[in-house]
Amino acid sequence: MNNSKRYTIYLPIAFSLVLVAGVYLGTVLTRNNSENVMLQLNTSGSGKVDEIIGYIEQNYVDTVNYVALETTAIKEMMKDLDPHSVYITADEFHSTNDDLLGSFEGIGISFRIERDTITVINPIPGGPSEKVGLMAGDRIVMIDDTLVAGVGVTNNDAVRKLKGKKGTKVKVSIFRRGIPKLIDFTITRDVIPTYSLDVAYMVDDETGYIKLRNFSATTSREFRKATRDLLKQGMNKLILDLRGNPGGFLDAA
């Protein structure tokens, strides 16, 4: 009699446990099958990034800035290429074009973001940065006492902080190889002409020398004028110096 009562009590509990386990197992299997299908989709074809973003758009529970997501993905992919291959946004493109199309107001440096740090490629000859002593290879750690190294600074951020009206000042703290402490410079912004040609002269009676700082909208005109002048002086050989040239317009190059 007692055994029969125990059986009557435990039997519904056992059925309930089996039912719960079955529902849980079915949920897990369904979820795993769904994930496997998604993985198969993402590992075939060339549009993996688009597929992933599309999946996020359809299934992610929160609001997402898809333009920022795509930009971040592209920039991360570019990091696997050589240091000279970079992706720039539309705003960054317009800022770069300003430097190549005409004059601008700022501190007068060419730079790139290298390992999350603003790195000076070269100071523009005769510009404010060269006058105070900035050198190629200097790494800008702080701008106006605000940390800009290792914090995800973008090209656009750097341009916005370094450019400014003629006569205004900006303080930069830089790391220079071989010097243990940061070096501070206070730079007075000025109008920076974007000439490509630094110097052109005759090395000897038959050898000309031309140094190009970058490839801008004026490069072709400046180069042709310089070569004509050197030809009049008897040039039949030319040394073209591109050291420190960060690039510029492909057509000009």
Write out the chain's pLDDT in tens, 253 residues. 455 555 455 555 555 544 444 545 455 444 544 444 454 555 555 577 778 878 888 888 888 887 888 888 888 888 888 876 777 777 666 666 555 555 678 998 888 888 889 999 888 888 899 999 999 899 999 999 999 999 988 888 898 899 889 999 999 999 999 999 999 999 999 988 777 888 889 999 999 999 998 888 888 999 999 999 999 999 999 999 998 787 777 788 7
Q: How far is CA 203 from the centre of its chain?
A: 39
User: What is the rounded end-to-end Cα distance, in angstroms, of the chain?
Assistant: 100
Q: Which of 252, 241, 128, 242 is nearest to 185 (CA)?
A: 128
The pTM of this model reads 0.52
Residue with tokens 């940065």: 129
Element spanning 72, H or E = helix 66-78
Cα distances (Å, whole numbers) of residue 215 to 113, 245, 246, 253: 20, 8, 8, 6
d(CA 237, CA 112): 34
Note whether 191 and 168 are within 8 A (CB): no
Cα distances (Å, whole numbers) of residue 108 to 147, 158, 196, 201, 242: 21, 13, 13, 24, 19
- In the chain, residues under CATH classification 2.30.42.10 are 105-192
Note whether 169 and 182 are within 8 A (CB): no
d(CA 182, CA 171): 12
Residue with tokens 């390992």: 115
- Look up the CATH number of domain 105-192: 2.30.42.10
Amino acid symbol at 147: L
Note whether 170 and 143 are within 8 A (CB): yes
Helix axes 48-59, 2-42, angle to 10 degrees: 140
Q: Please tell me the number of Cα atoms within 13 Å of 23 on its side-chain side.
A: 5
Element spanning 54, H or E = helix 48-59
